[in-house]
Chains A and B, each alone.
Chain A
Amino acid sequence: SQTIHQWPATLVQPVGSPLSLECTVEGTSNPNLYWYRQAAGRGLQLLFYSVGIGQISSEVPQNLSASRPQDRQFILSSKKLLLSDSGFYLCAWDRTSSYEQYFGPGTRLTVT
């Protein structure tokens, strides 16, 4: 069966510090991968998606970036965090042949 992992689960970082969130998927190959951000009481905002290694599409201009160094690894990064980067970050995957996305447990990021 397939599983998706995210870490860390929670993170408190000062403004201006760097960020690296990691997501890995097990039990499948060549998945589509997604990063979402969810502000408190809000919906899901798609940040990035990737259809393959090294292929990243950005949905929203911001100070975040994403990378996919391996087939089942997706990383969300920032060089300098802003207060507005606080939120719940979710990684998800799906198969090319399916629209159903499977979500990870999320990372709660608080920028102070």
Chain B
Amino acid sequence: GESVGLHLPTLSVQEGDNSIINCAYSNSASDYFIWYKQESGKGPQFIIDIRSNMDKRQGQRVTVLLNKTVKHLSLQIAATQPGDSAVYFCAETGANSKLTFGKGITLSVRP
């Protein structure tokens, strides 16, 4: 079936370095993708989104890249800070236009 998955369960980065979180999706018909950040014990919070007619979108310190050819989505965080430590989810629109979430990856920032 259709699925959204993440390649790695955890990512550890040095404070100040750039982080890259990757996500693979399998539904070639998806036209909308979102990255969420979930801090411990809280609900997910929207970070950035991208539509399938784009291949790159930038926000404040974050960039989302979409490669439709290989069905790959990535989130880049510039100058990673301790406050960036969280679980990150990618999500795509599914067959019924509802969001399907990936498994999640934990980003750990080393001081």
Contact = CB atoms under 8 A, between A and B. Distances in A.
B103 A43 contact: yes
Nearest to B106: A41
A43 B101 CA distance: 7
The B contact surface, by secondary structure, is strand
Interface size class of A (residues with CB under 8 A): 10 to 19
Interface residues of B, number: 20
A102 B104 contact: no
Interface in A84-112: 90, 92, 99-106, 108
**Most A C-beta atoms less than 10 A away, residue of B43, B102, B104:** B43
Given A90-B43, A90-B44, A99-B34, 15 more contacts: A36-B101, A42-B104, A43-B89, A43-B102, A43-B103, A44-B89, A46-B98, A49-B98, A99-B32, A99-B49, A99-B93, A99-B97, A105-B42, A105-B43, A106-B43
8 contacts: A42-B103, A43-B89, A43-B101, A43-B103, A90-B44, A103-B36, A106-B41, A106-B42
